[in-house]
Amino acid sequence: MRKKLFVLTLVVLLAGLVMVPGRASSHREAPLISSDPQADTTDVYAFVSPDAPDTVTLISSWIPFENPQGGPNFYRFGDNVLYEMKIDNNGDGVEDITYQFRFTSQTRNPDTFLYNTGPILSPDSANRNLFQTYTVTRIDNGRTTLTAGPMLTMPDNVGPASTPGYGGNGSGVYEYNEVVGGRARVFAGQTDDPFFLDLRVFDLLYGANLSEAGVDSLAGFNVHSIALQVPKAALRAGSPIIGVWATASRPATTTRSAGSETSSGSFVQVSRLGMPLVNEVVLPLGQKDKWNASKPADDGQFLQYVTNPEVPKLLQAIYGLQAPATPRNDLVQVFLTGVPGLNQPPGVKPAEMLRLNVDVLPTSNPQRLGVLAGDIQGFPNGRRLADDVIDITLQAAVGKLLGVNTTLGDGVDRNDVPFRSSFPYLGLPHSGGNPRNLNPNPPRGN
């Protein structure tokens, strides 16, 4: 009995030693900071299709920095995310046409968590245990005008054992009938991240030597992309100039009962993207929450950050590059209104979106610096996959459009993998078998 008491006392004392006052135990400490990569759009592209010049290709990419070795959960679109591509075809800042994409995950064998149960030789392979289908819905001024699907997304490029000969068996491209103009095409699934830049540029802006840049920070990473190829006639109105942006929204739930909530309740926009680098270069930190929830029609509230931007001031302070006088109406044209005579719609309302004049036909000799190099089919007239938007934006920021002579850039001039010559043009995703080319003995197959 005494021995038992002694042991008990000892145990209690020891327990006291490991416990420090200040423990949290009852409340659940729900995570407070959460990233949402599935609703995070990385880039938007809009260009006249080089191999089908009576169509326009629209692309949005999602889920930044996908490691090709994504297992065991792998990457997919969000089932509860409403993905949208919006088009303003009369310059009033409000969408006239909306394409909605909704994804549904399905499991063939609910008893396993595995992505695949054997090699996946086609998008509809029975070995593809976890797969996603999606639908496309077109809305014209609030009215649903077409719905296509369900269709299959392209699987992730898991590796040569699971996805041998990736891309060789089925492209993931589907055709459907547009409201006017005939056939259109759609693709959704994993691709190479088409953006190329040295992310150190954001470090170097704060003091160092820009010539140190030159490494494509996004080389070897994948994203998930949604691509559409639509007849011009189905997009344009009177003017040939269309404005394009992408949004992601999630359904809101409420703490108090106000009827029945479902996952298709009222949607709240959680991200938006049209022009590249607005979030990174133009907007100050404290404005980003407001920006992600805002609509282009209300962009007048952000005008001051464009007319009086931070980056040229930094470049002047650090590199001695003379900042052009403000207000920067040249940048207002790049980011908000389009350039007169090229991609500015008549009666335009300043609003941030990618503005494309669909009447400018593809050139056989595209320049990575786009309009700055005299190639008016490129950025900022829409955006092609190979347009070097970092260099263009940096040069525009220091006044290239005002006649300033500059060759400013990040030293990365092209993507790490070639773009394909036909829809969806994006590079195939990097294989999980050789992530970021780090494997000295890469497996054969892909």
Note the residues at the interface with other proteins (CB under 8 A). Answer: 4, 7-8, 11-12, 15-16, 18-39, 70, 73-76, 78-80, 113, 250-257, 261-263, 268, 270, 285-286, 289-290, 292-293
- In this complex, which beta carbon is closest to other proteins, that of residue 47 or of residue 305? 305
Residue closer to other proteins by CB (options 30, 438) is 30
Closest approach, Cβ 287 to other proteins, in A, equals 9
CB 157 within 8 A of CB 166: yes
**402/69 Cα distance (integer angstroms):** 46
Q: How far is the CB of 112 from other proteins (least distance, A)?
A: 11
Nearest approach, Cβ of residue 116 and other proteins (Å): 17
CB 392 within 8 A of CB 380: yes
In the complex, minimum distance from the CB of residue 219 to other proteins, in angstroms, rounded to a whole number: 20
Q: Which two tokens stand for residue 101?
A: 């994409």
For residue 268, the minimal CB distance to other proteins (Å) is 5
Closest to other proteins by CB, 31 vs 341, is 31
Residue 255 or residue 364: which is nearer to other proteins going by CB? 255
For residues 103 and 166, which CB has a smaller minimum distance to other proteins in the complex? 103
HSE, CB side, 13 Å, CA atoms: give it for residue 149. 24
Closer to other proteins by CB, 64 or 411: give it.
64
Least Å from the CB of residue 114 to other proteins:
11
Q: How far is the CB of 288 from other proteins (least distance, A)?
A: 9
Smallest distance, Å, CB 405 to other proteins?
34
Nearest in space to 136 (alpha carbons), one of 124, 151, 147:
147
Of 268 and 402, the one with the shorter C-beta distance to other proteins is 268
Q: Which is nearer to other proteins, 11 or 180 (CB)?
A: 11
